[in-house]
Amino acid sequence: MANISLITGITGQDGSYLAELLLEKGYQVHGCYRRTSTNSFQRIEHLLDQVEMHCTDLMDQASLERLIAKVKPTEVYNLAAQSFVGSSWDQPILTGEVTGLGVTRLLEAIRMVDTSIRFYQASSSEMYGKVHETPQRETTPFHPRSPYGVAKAYGHWMTVNYRESYDMFACGGILFNHESPRRGLEFVTRKISDAVARIKLGMANEVRLGNLEARRDWGFAGDYVEAMWLMLQQDAPVDYVIGTGETYRVGDFVQIAFERVGLNWEDHVVIDPKFYRPAEVDLLLADPAKAQAELNWTPKMPFRELVETMVDHDLARLSLVAKPDLKVVRKSA
């Protein structure tokens, strides 16, 4: 029997890499997108003839149940979320509805239709927040510091609860930050790589950032989707920490990104209090030992290569549009 996968959030960064991986593995891939006035398929344009897309929303219980009954997936990957920590203070209720309760809606839909479906929940290192130990492992207590982190902790515990209550194959991957050229432009890594490329090409002169001292364990998204898949291939449902085991400052990312194009970051970075958060997560560092031992998973792309890949990508992308763009600006100015 063919493996049938359903990915919520397929239009996002991770959804696009996971869809590529599952197609390579011979899966039938179904993806969920939400209705918007302009489509959000940029990251999966190249896959649209191979995946079946379904319009649904994590806010809509009935649509989820109908979808599960229609697609009959063997594996469900719940990647959909309001995923930007910064916005979660502006929209705490929406974040709770989608990122938190959305998990329960999907678990309920699965429970109503077929409890043998395997379920992956995109849990997050943001659940550790004000960390109780370093490095963080599966047993480290949660202390989330944002409405996003709180919603993810709720979604994580609901996943554990459905596993324990209904004997479902449901697990949470506690993923630390992972980035790529497909990362949304509001996240700090992509904001930096995009700005560095613009500055190099003469399209901008500065980038305004917040806390350069925050430390994150950053890996490559393409490596991390493999861990998601591995978790659903095990004999039993287990939660895993997925990260690199290395931590860097936001300032380190900035420095390497500017070095890549031969510029001094001090000449172009402006610290703007607007980008400081009401409560910060100061230090994240994964202990991925359990995933290494039991899933045989290790991250492949080192930090410097990740930064350089993102800068190179944005330079190439913006080089193509730089001159025509400048002409348009001059004409309309």
* Active site members: 124, 126, 148
Q: Using an 8 Å Cβ cutoff, are 144 and 156 in contact?
A: no
User: Which residue, 167 or 186, is less far from ligand F7E as judged by CB?
Assistant: 186
Helix or strand run (H / E) with residue 121: strand 118-124
Least distance in Å: CB of 48 to ligand NAP? Answer: 14
How many C-beta atoms surround the C-beta of residue 187 within 10 A?
16
CA distances from 238 to 8, 12, 73, 163, 291 (A): 21, 25, 20, 10, 10
Q: Which does 79 bind (CB under 5 to 8 A by kind): ligand F7E, ligand NAP, none?
A: ligand NAP
* Planar angle of CA 123, 173, 82, nearest 5 degrees: 25
The residue from 21, 23, 47, 57 that contacts ligand NAP (CB under 6 A) is: 57
Report the C-alpha gap between 323 and 331 in whole angstroms: 12
**Nearest approach, Cβ of residue 252 and ligand NAP (Å):** 17
How many C-beta atoms surround the C-beta of residue 191 within 10 A? 17
186 binds ligand F7E (CB under 6 A): yes
| Smallest separation, CB 22 to ligand NAP (Å) | 15
Q: According to the binding rule CB under 6 A, does residue 277 interact with ligand F7E?
A: yes
Helix 147-166 vs helix 102-113: angle between axes, to the nearest 10 degrees?
A: 20
Q: Which two tokens stand for residue 197?
A: 């490329």
Of ligand NAP, ligand F7E, none, which one sits near residue 13, judging by CB under 5 to 8 A according to partner kind? ligand NAP
- Which residue type, as a one-letter code, is found at position 104? T
Number of residues that bind ligand F7E (CB under 6 A): 23
d(CA 8, CA 120): 10
121 binds, among ligand NAP, ligand F7E, none (CB under 5 to 8 A by kind): none
Out of ligand F7E, ligand NAP, none, which partner does residue 227 contact, by CB within 5 to 8 A per kind? none
Q: Binder to ligand NAP among 14, 20, 194, 314 (CB under 6 A)?
A: 14
Instruction: Sort strands 75-78 and 4-8 into parallel, antiparallel or unpaired.
Output: parallel
Considering only residues 169 to 208 of the shown chain, the ones binding ligand NAP according to CB under 6 A are: 175, 177-178, 184
Q: How far apart are CA 212 and CA 194, in angstroms?
A: 17
Binding of ligand NAP at residue 83 (CB under 6 A)?
Answer: yes
Q: Give pairs for 112-115: CB < 8 Å, separation 24+.
A: 112/65, 112/68, 113/65, 113/68, 113/69, 114/68, 114/72, 115/166, 115/167, 115/168
Residue 119 beta carbon to ligand NAP: minimum distance, rounded to whole angstroms: 13
- One-letter-per-residue 3-state SS of 205-237: CCEEECCCCCEECCEEHHHHHHHHHHHHCCCCC
Candidates 23, 28, 86, 238; binder of ligand F7E (CB under 6 A) is 86
Site for ligand NAP contains 100 (CB under 6 A): no
Q: How far is the CB of 308 from ligand F7E (least distance, A)?
A: 18
**Cβ-based nearer residue to ligand NAP, 8 or 244:** 8
The binder of 12, among ligand NAP, ligand F7E, none, by C-beta within 5 to 8 A per type, is: ligand NAP
Of 249 and 268, which has the nearer Cβ to ligand NAP?
A: 249
- 27 vs 220 by CB, closer to ligand F7E: 220
| Segment holding 162, helix H or strand E | helix 147-166
Interface contacts to ligand NAP, rule CB under 6 A:
8-9, 11-15, 34, 36, 40, 57-59, 79-83, 98, 122, 124, 175, 177-178, 184
